[in-house]
Amino acid sequence: MRNFDRKYSLIAAFSVLLLLSVGVGCKGFFVNPTLSSIAIGPQAQTITTQQTLQMTATGTYSDGSTQNLTGKVVWSSGTTSCATINQNGLVTPVKTVTGVCTTTISAAAGTVSAATTTVTVSEGTPTSITLTASTTTPQHNSTVTFTANAIFPGSSTPQDITSSVTWNVSDTTNLTLTNGSDTGTLSAGSAGLSINVQASFAGVVSNVVTLNVQ
């Protein structure tokens, strides 16, 4: 019985060691993914001194996964006399801004290259918005690029606010134009149609651009 007990104890001890070694070995196969890059958005926005802007940060990891890092990155504003940003990614313009100013917003985490974008702050709502299109006689099943330029109080220089406007399209079935984008896509069956497009920002509406689809 003593020999049996001794053999049993040795087997049990060996089994424990074997399990421990396997466990340690397995950990080597599960390496925590590392942060590869950061992307922030929305990009190139224009706001007035009466508005705020919520930024978001998305991290991409070495295994291809992504994660919302908005509250975990280090946010900064390059020109704090124009606008500031808190650690939750909220951009707040300085109320005493006159005319138009621009600041660079950055998000950093560890040794990963910081992601940046610009935010333009206007003293007030624009006095006018001029909308143009790359062509007003596009072919069906093609794309059209729009540009919205605004004149703001305190400045005579047009500011490109295309990515910040709200699009008003008379025929959303045959022209797809998404807020934040400057490119509209015409459907294959839109030949012969006329489609009206306007841009609005802070309650100000642009001129009407009419597309006569060929």
| DSSP track, 141-192 | T-EEEEEEEEE-TT--S-EE-GGGSEEEES-TTTEE--TT--EEEE-TT-TT
Q: Are 209 and 185 in contact (CB under 8 A)?
A: no
Q: Do residues 115 and 97 both lie within one domain?
A: yes
Q: How far apart are CA 67 and CA 58, in angstroms?
A: 6
| Structure confidence by residue, pLDDT tens digits, 151-202 | 887 778 888 888 888 999 999 999 999 988 999 999 999 999 999 999 998 8
CA distance linking residue 212 with residue 194, whole number of Å: 5
With beta carbons less than 8 A apart as the criterion, state whether 122 and 100 touch.
yes
Q: Give yes or no: residues 205 and 181 share one domain.
A: yes
pTM, two decimals, is 0.59
Same domain, 49 and 98: yes
- Whether the pLDDT of residue 130 is over 70: the answer is yes
pLDDT number for residue 27? 44
Q: Looking at the structure, do residues 85 and 140 belong to the same domain, yes or no?
A: no
Looking up residue 77, the CATH number of its domain turns out to be: 2.60.40.1080
Residue span of the structural domain in which 5 resides: 1-30
As for how many domains the chain has, the answer is: 3
One domain, residues 174 and 195? yes
Question: Are 96 and 76 in a shared domain?
Answer: yes
65-100 pLDDT, tens digit per residue, is 999 999 999 999 999 999 999 999 999 999 998 777
* Of the residues 69, 92, 122, the one at which a domain ends: 122
Of residues 22 and 176, the one with the higher pLDDT is 176
pLDDT higher than 80, residue 61? yes
pLDDT at 25: 47
Q: Which of 199, 163, 201 is nearest to 182 (CA)?
A: 163
- For the segment 97-115, the average pLDDT, to the nearest whole number, is 92
Q: What is the CATH number of the domain that holds 203?
A: 2.60.40
Helix (H, G, I), strand (E, B) or coil at 15: helix
User: What SS3 state is found at 38?
Assistant: strand
